[in-house]
Amino acid sequence: MRVITYREALREALQEELRRDERVFLMGEDLGYYGGAFKVTLGLLEEFGEARIKDTPISESVIVGAATGAAVVGCRPVVEIMFADFIALGMDHVVNSAAKMRYMYGGQATVPLVIRAPQGAGTSSGCHHCQSVEGWLLNVPGLKIVLPSTPADAKGLLKAAIRDDNPVLFLEHKLLYATQGEVPEGDVVIPLGKADVKRQGKDVTVITTSAMVGKALKAAENLAAERIEVEVVDPRTLNPLDKQTIVDSVKKTNRVVICHEACLTYGPGGELAAIIAEEAFDYLDAPIQRVAAPDIPVPFSPPMEAFFIPDEKRIIQAVRKTLS
């Protein structure tokens, strides 16, 4: 199977969906002539023109508001927010317009809107450009939250998101854009709400998303040398959430570590832990462990940022704690 980058997989998904459905269009800051802040949309303007690849003013509120209106009247906009942190500037339309419109109209209106946004630390860009924002959004009914970890998932999930009739927040970790992986050719769509077991194991379940998946897999490789078999489960979408795959894994291994780059307190790991406690408590042989970022703004200093970001060492420590 061919190997391409995460960035190329996203671009391919956008290109295929633009060709497939004339209602799809892209809008955002610098995504046309400049090709996007992370070059995901490079070359699309030349093929599809300004009518479908729209550079916008620097106003996230205007971008999300206009895209929500376009979605309600029958278009399928894909918005790029330059950094996920800036979703805060369009949060009124995300939370009070896009997320609620279908409910308020009793299902008669749909909001097929995708908001793509790079997030995550590791580039020393400071606390206004490096946050992981899924925790902000998971408490809002009506939003779907996607965090792809591989190029194949990035392409398949983005195609599914564009075809969905609900608003989807598609969160891409900045450190993944240059990563490579096998991606099947053709119209391969990965359903939202279907987890993927990235590695089979019998001793401990590690549940994780986005860039943390790669770290969990490396930690699992290191632990395998000690004959500790870690199962790595990637939910891929946090809403809708594939509870069954998670619960089935916990029932098999009886021990759980939950990892994410979002801050620990009120992060997605807390909800995952609650679900496991409610639906698989009797299968647990040890307390659930969480590995997450500390409750501080993302530091600018590279050494401090490195301390902030959860790593393989902390995952290994958490796994060993569940086994002790």
Q: In DSSP terms, which residues pair with 180 in a beta bridge? A: 5
The catalytic position among 93, 128, 129, 173 is: 129
Strands (DSSP E) found in 230-278: 230-234, 237-239, 256-263
128 is an active site residue: no
271 φ, ψ to 5°?
-70, -40
Dihedral-angle region of residue 59 (phi above 0 means left; psi in -120 to 50 means alpha; beta otherwise)? beta
Distance CA 162, CA 159 (A): 5
289 φ, ψ to 5°?
-110, 140
Q: Are strands 237-239 and 144-146 parallel, antiparallel or unpaired?
A: antiparallel
Q: How far is CA 179 from CA 3, 236, 294, 313, in A?
A: 10, 17, 26, 21
Active site amino acids: 129
